Chain A
Amino acid sequence: MQLTLEFGGGLELLCDSVKIHNVSIDPENGVGKLIMKDLLSWVRTNLIKERPEMFMKGDTVRPGVLVLVNDCDWELSGQLDTTLEEKDVVVFISTLHGG
Chain B
Amino acid sequence: MQKNLEFWKRFCRNKGAVVGLLIIVAVILMAIFAPLLYPDSPWKLVQRPFIPPMELDGYWFGTDTLGRDIGAGLVHGARVSLLVGLTSTVVALLIGVTLGAFAGYYGGLVDDGVMRFTELFQTVPNFALAIVLVAIMQPSVESVILAIGIVSWPPVARLVRGEFLSLRSREFVQASMVLGQSNARIILTQILPNTLSPVIVMTSLMVATAILLESALSFLGLGDPDVMSWGYMIGAARTVLRQAWWMSFFPGVMILLTVLALNLVGEGLNDAMNPRLARKSR
Is this pair of chains taken from one and the same complex? no
The chain A residues found within 8 Å of chain B, CB to CB, are: none
